[in-house]
A and B are shown apart, each in its own frame.
Chain A
């Protein structure tokens, strides 16, 4: 069911909100800490168009960063396959860089590049790039002997055919990591905006945080969750046609 993700998100969001209100009432917290439901609705009414536009902006950057990462990871994976020495360097480098928190590098990017589309795109790509790269490098260097054997013994195995065979045989792995890294792309965008940008939903959250306005944060979370669910649903629709089982 393609719309399952949206339904799951709505159930999760409503459950979290219910737990939050239950905590508020059981501990007797004030509206300043956890706003009343009516206050959340009033705030939503007031800021929804601004937050909606901000979320769309963030989503566009997340999608662009995600696509950029897929293309780059695929190209580097292919490059790594063609040249085994480059492949070893890429694999080792990717493992090393992946273990380093990108969030810690993000301020350097903002200092060097300032605010704007490019640094946000770069941080987004960096956050979702490495899982993709590791998968692509892994897939393209993993032989499929029962298919490749014929081409190998008849000297007809070209590099592009080899890549095609391996990509086809490991398509579930590739599609799963593409789907999985979509969430990371959105996380990357929000982190980048939260840290230093002057627009986007991450930036709106940072303002809401400085105002200690929980209602705004809850509305931002609702929009982020909803947009991620829609994006994942669309991705699943594109990547996993009906007859293919979802992983």
Chain B
């Protein structure tokens, strides 16, 4: 089995959003005094209906947007939380291989090649980003973020356009290979969220109070199984909460 060279010891991590309020200029308020936390490393989720502000909240958590009031308390051992979306591109003059060689140190070459192969995109080495399908683009983009040393990564629809079985392979791989990191996963797949995530924060529109509700997911890992009834129950709870 391939082992990743940068794997670290498990550290207790905690990301807190304290009393966050936010509105875009000249627009209605979208967050009103939101408080929640993700505690410990692992795979957590931010879930909610379209347009409720998940991406904006993710950008606030990662420091790309400044809230009107409130603060983010980051106890992850790194000052920076990185955020990736499925809207990103690689520089147009580089092939995938050239890009990875330019952004990652040489000792990580084996890692990204292994991940390319595991994520079913090993045939894309010599291609340019623009030549890939949407699902392939999202997978190569995710790889470059996973191989960064930052302990917290927010994945905003990072596995969109990837088929279900491959999504499962990727999520389980991430959980196994990067147990020391904290992932905040944003997805519209309620089943996926309930099945693989540990802590789930459901974000609701500003008219609801409280605007966020916390749930515990089934947190499936490799070589473990989950109770289908509990999963269904979990899914119902979350759907009702949104």
Q: Complex formed: what's the CA distance from A62 to B148 in Å?
A: 50
Contact B88 A147 (CB under 8 A): yes
Q: Tell me whether B146 is interfacial, beta carbon within 8 Å.
A: no
Contact of B62 among A153, A155, A164, A168 (CB under 8 A): A153
Task: Name which of B89-97, B110-118, B172-180 contacts chain A.
Answer: B89-97
Residue tally, chain B, CB below 8 Å to A: 20
Contact of B89 among A146, A154, A155, A164 (CB under 8 A): A146
Contact A149 B93 (CB under 8 A): no
Q: Which residue in chain A gives the minimum CB-CB distance to B90?
A: A147
Q: How close is B89's CB to chain A, nearest CB, in angstroms? A: 5
Q: How close is B225's CB to chain A, nearest CB, in angstroms? A: 36
Contact A168 B88 (CB under 8 A): no
Q: Mark A165-185, 1 if CB is under 8 A from B, else 0.
A: 100110000000000000000
Contact of A153 among B82, B90, B93 (CB under 8 A): B82
Instruction: Provide the residues of chain A in CB contact with B91, threshold 8 Å.
Output: 147, 164-165, 168
Interface size class of A (residues with CB under 8 A): 10 to 19
Q: What are 25 A-B pairs at a CB distance below 8 A?
A: A146-B87, A146-B88, A146-B89, A147-B88, A147-B89, A147-B90, A147-B91, A149-B84, A149-B85, A150-B103, A150-B141, A150-B144, A150-B145, A153-B64, A153-B80, A153-B82, A153-B83, A153-B84, A154-B150, A156-B103, A164-B91, A165-B91, A168-B91, A168-B92, A168-B93
Report the 8 A-B pairs with minimum CB-CB distance, sorted nearest first: A153-B82, A146-B89, A147-B89, A146-B88, A146-B87, A168-B92, A165-B91, A154-B148
Contact residues of B with A, CB < 8 Å? 62, 64, 80, 82-85, 87-93, 103, 141, 144-145, 148, 150
